[in-house]
Amino acid sequence: MSDQAHKIRLIMELRRSGITDTQVLSAVERVPRELFVPDTFGDRAYDNIALPIDQGQTISQPYVVAYMTQVLELFPRAKVLEIGTGSGYQAAVLSPLCRRVFTVERFRSLSRRAEERFRALGLTNIVTRVGDGMLGWPEQAPFDRIMVTAAAADEVPQALKEQLRDNGGILVVPVGDGVAQEIVKVRRNGDTFEESRMLPVRFVPLVKGVAEEKR
């Protein structure tokens, strides 16, 4: 089966699983996921599963990528912060759905390779940074939307909540330990942060600091 046939099958599976936003589905369909997975897993690029990448990290299951993108409630002029660039796949899906994506990664090598993929695909509205994702990107705040692609241990990081735009900014983040995690959606109105608990998930942990690279 060709990559295109696999991709069509994946999009149909996402529809059946409750992804109803046609713009999100279109973004997933346009991004060549095979460019974001290791060559050894190229034949599984359009399977609806998470896959390992370098530095002990993962590229998320397409359903989780689409789900988190859908609940973020994006709009064309949105300024978005992503914590955890990884392979760059999630940022590539966000790219056509908003004005600009600022993405932070603690592994320099992952950030560099993600940048190369963004350039190859002509995704000029993505800005990368190597840094501590727990701190967000305060110089660029406030953000209309924030997505975290690693699990906060027990609560939503306060620094990220404070970088949300105060009139309806939305933050989507997995929260919990390695066994029990769930996606939490935070909506800010002034100094009030309304939290909703959503989908059970499994993500790598959100870790402080810039990483020491594994050789």
Q: What is the pLDDT of residue 107?
A: 94
Q: What is d(CA 72, CA 111) in angstroms, rounded to the nearest whole number? A: 23
- Which residue among 26, 60, 87, 196 is the active-site one? 60
Q: Say if 84 falls within a structural domain.
A: yes
Q: What is the pLDDT of residue 2?
A: 74
Domain range for 109 is: 62-201
pLDDT at position 4 over 90: no
pLDDT at position 158 over 80: yes
pLDDT range class, residue 194, cuts 50, 70, 90: very high
88: domain CATH number is 3.40.50.150
Q: Say if 9 falls within a structural domain.
A: no
Q: What is the pLDDT of residue 213?
A: 66
Average pLDDT for 62-89: 97
How many domains does the structure of the chain reveal?
1
Give 20-68 pLDDT, tens digit per residue: 999 999 999 999 999 999 999 988 999 999 999 998 889 999 999 999 9
With contact defined as beta carbons under 8 Å apart, do 62 and 28 qualify?
A: yes
Choose between 209 and 171: higher pLDDT.
171
Active site residue 196: no
Q: Say if 188 falls within a structural domain.
A: yes
Pairing of strands 126-130, 181-189: unpaired
Pairing of strands 181-189, 192-201: antiparallel
Q: Say if 144 falls within a structural domain.
A: yes
pLDDT range class, residue 180, cuts 50, 70, 90: confident
Q: What is d(CA 36, CA 114) in angstroms, rounded to the nearest whole number? A: 8
pLDDT at position 164 over 90: yes
Q: Say if 36 falls within a structural domain.
A: no
pLDDT range class, residue 170, cuts 50, 70, 90: very high
Q: What is the pLDDT of residue 148?
A: 96
Give 93-150 pLDDT, tens digit per residue: 999 999 999 999 999 999 999 999 999 999 999 999 999 999 999 999 999 999 999 8
Q: What is the pLDDT of residue 177?
A: 79
pLDDT at position 214 over 60: no
pLDDT at position 193 over 60: yes
pLDDT range class, residue 207, cuts 50, 70, 90: confident
Complete DSSP assignment for 46-66: TSSS-EE-GGG-EEPPHHHHH
Q: What is the pLDDT of residue 172?
A: 97
Q: Say if 160 falls within a structural domain.
A: yes
Q: Say if 112 falls within a structural domain.
A: yes
Q: What is the pTM of this model?
A: 0.94
SS3 annotation, 105-154: ECCHHHHHHHHHHHHHHCCCCEEEEECCHHHCCHHHCCECEEEECCEECC
pLDDT range class, residue 1, cuts 50, 70, 90: low
Q: Say if 19 falls within a structural domain.
A: no
